[in-house]
Amino acid sequence: MKRIALILAVSMALAALGSGVAAADPINSKKAESFDLTCNNGQEFTIVGISGNGGHIVGTNGNIIFTKATIMATDPDTGELLYSETEPVGQGKRVGLDDDRITCTTELGTYFVPLLGQVATVSATLEGFLTPRGQ
């Protein structure tokens, strides 16, 4: 039962990270969440997401579409990894996208996580690609 509740919590965190590509002006949505991403291609983005598997890149007409997400919870004092789960995000064929994939990280915050029974720093590593391609 504890694992199911933790999976639901992870799913909620993933939903908060994304938005559909066709979302109209997610920045002004009451449900919008913004996140700063640092990516392995040397770029840093602020994205705004509502729900789904991607996010709008603030200040551009581009989006990032996530294909895989890893949620991690660590002890803020010791850095000990308390929880980690990797899940595929989205659906569809990803043939031909290997050269365009990037990996980004973000810290979601430090707060009490009831399922772990303690305060934890929650972060995410996200794999995906930019649209339009070649950004």
**In this predicted model, what pLDDT tens digit does every residue of 32-84 receive, in sequence order?**
788 899 999 899 999 987 666 678 899 888 888 888 889 999 999 999 999 99
Task: Please report, rounded to a whole number, the percentage of residues in the chain having pLDDT higher than 90.
Answer: 33
Q: Where are the chain's structural domains?
A: 2-131
Per-state percent for the chain, helix, strand, coil, to nearest 5: 15, 45, 35
The Cβ-side half-sphere exposure at 91, using a 13 Å CA radius, reads: 0
Structure-block tokens of residue 59: 């200040």
d(CA 73, CA 78): 12
pLDDT at residue 72, rounded to an integer: 95
Of 39, 68, 33, whose CA–CA distance to 51 is shortest? Answer: 33
d(CA 97, CA 82): 32
Structure-block tokens of residue 53: 């598997």
d(CA 54, CA 67): 9
pTM: 0.70
The number of beta carbons lying within 10 Å of the beta carbon of residue 12 is: 10
